[in-house]
Amino acid sequence: MIFVGAQIDCGCIHRLDIDWFCGLACHTRRQSHQCRNDVFACRIVHGFCRYGDRPVLGDAAPFIERLFGGLDRIYQVHRKIGIAVLVLILVHYFITPDFKGLSLTSGLNQLAAMFGEYAFYGFVVLLIFSLVKIIPRTKIEIPYHIWRITHRFIGVLFILVAFHQMFIKRPYDGTALLASYLNIFALIGIGSYIYTQLLPWLRTRSYEVFDVNRHEGATIISARPTGRPLKAKPGQFGFFRVNKSGLREPHPFTIAGIDDDGVVRFAIKALGDYTKALREGIAVGDSVTLEGGYGHFNHRRGGKKQIWLAGGIGITPFLAMASRLKGDEGQDIHLVYCVRDRSEAIGLETFETQAGKLQNFSFVLHDSAKDGRLDAEKIVAASAFDPGEADLWFCGPPPLRAAIEKGLKALGKTPRRVEFEQFQFR
């Protein structure tokens, strides 16, 4: 799922800090060649600092999730930072400054140089592996679970880089402001890496499956907690894993329903290896491990008028949110649920019941097989309020969102704000 809104580029914050340091270094030394070296060093450490936040971003302490607007958005920023880091380390490798700097001992300095080199090779391999999903000119896709395992080693490489920057020859000594700045980032990075390795243990809960419905549109799984229930809001997602051979790899799925007693429901479409195996293999009585809830896709953050638009399996967060509506939200909501064929629609009973009961909720099923292609005109015609004065909340295939946004704009009804969630991290 994807959200759109104010995006925060943490890279900018670091760029400002680093430029401030560069300026300070140049101003105090007033030596132009030294200054150039410092600026170069600053560019490199900029990359290092950017990397310092990576482990944090990747596994998201709750306050960082709030800052970015959800774990899925963090992953998008995280990916861009990865690309920037790759470029910077390549620059660093090919343009090595000749610092007549200060080093603690020559032994440590040599070790730092060696660690830096190993980290360089490791980073290049792992970052390319992360960024290239499909091997060019082939149809060979790097499997997600392999990528996931290799990606974890980036934390170890970060520790090598931290050592490298601490003990390599530098144009400043260990007491300089810039050294402290870098050391703080090194510690934040290492601390975050350790935290991210521990976090899943803290947010993990055990569940037992008590119902499996192999619906045409999705496999609907209901499970109850065997101990403490998961803490999650409607619209959030969790990492889902069945403790059974072949189904142990954690995958992210939206919690399509969560009750007060902790019972959760998932609606999972069989799209690839894991989801197909899950549809075949999951059974009542299976033990499931859930980690979450993550994400910020929740209508309560939105405006007073909202159009919810779901395409196919993108209905899951709306199902969770609609089932919890009480009518006192102070928000008017109109849901458009677009499916290829009515037979694949899920949760219809919930939507129809809520629409019949609540004044502030209306619902339209768009059956493309019967009603043709969904477009902006149809949304405007069916909506009880003007989409140009409403938020658009979207979950579904990105081309559908692009077409609807474009269509609404052409009609002079650009939504006030668009929130969307991406069903993809990598």
Residue numbers at the binding site for ligand FAD (CB under 6 A): 1, 72, 144, 237, 249-254, 267-269, 271-275, 313, 316, 423-426
Distance CA 89, CA 46 (A): 10
Q: Kindly state the smallest distance separating residue 393's Cβ from ligand FAD, in Å.
A: 15
With respect to ligand FAD, which residue has the nearer C-beta, 74 or 119?
74
First to last CA, the chain: 12
With respect to ligand FAD, which residue has the nearer C-beta, 172 or 393?
393
Tokens 């954690």 sit on residue: 250
Per DSSP bridges, beta strands 305-311 and 287-294 are unpaired
Q: Kindly state the smallest distance separating residue 97's Cβ from ligand FAD, in Å.
A: 39
| Number of alpha carbons in the 13 Å side-chain half-sphere of residue 128 | 9
Go through 403-425 and write b for each residue having 16 or more CB atoms within 10 A of its CB, e for each that does not.
Answer: ebbebbeeeebebebbbbbbbee
With respect to ligand FAD, which residue has the nearer C-beta, 271 or 384?
271
Q: Kindly state the smallest distance separating residue 28's Cβ from ligand FAD, in Å.
A: 48
Distance CA 75, CA 222 (A): 28
| Residue 296 near residue 69 (C-beta atoms within 8 A) | yes
C-alpha dist (Å) from residue 192 to 65, 170, 189: 14, 26, 5
Q: Kindly state the smallest distance separating residue 89's Cβ from ligand FAD, in Å.
A: 25
Distance CA 256, CA 236 (A): 9
C-alpha dist (Å) from residue 299 to 305, 308, 320, 335: 10, 9, 11, 12
Angle at the Cα of 245 from the Cα atoms of 242 and 246, rounded to 5 degrees: 80
Q: Kindly state the smallest distance separating residue 59's Cβ from ligand FAD, in Å.
A: 13
With respect to ligand FAD, which residue has the nearer C-beta, 47 or 234?
234
With respect to ligand FAD, which residue has the nearer C-beta, 25 or 218?
218
With respect to ligand FAD, which residue has the nearer C-beta, 173 or 259?
259
Q: Kindly state the smallest distance separating residue 106's Cβ from ligand FAD, in Å.
A: 46
With respect to ligand FAD, which residue has the nearer C-beta, 112 or 313?
313
**Residue 87 CB partners (closer than 8 Å, separation 6+):** none
Q: Kindly state the smallest distance separating residue 334's Cβ from ligand FAD, in Å.
A: 22
The residue sitting closest to ligand FAD, measured at its beta carbon, is: 272
| Residue 182 near residue 191 (C-beta atoms within 8 A) | no
With respect to ligand FAD, which residue has the nearer C-beta, 114 or 271?
271
- Edge-first strand listing for the sheet containing 257-258: 251-254, 237-242, 287-294, 204-214, 219-225, 264-268, 257-258
Q: Kindly state the smallest distance separating residue 257's Cβ from ligand FAD, in Å.
A: 11
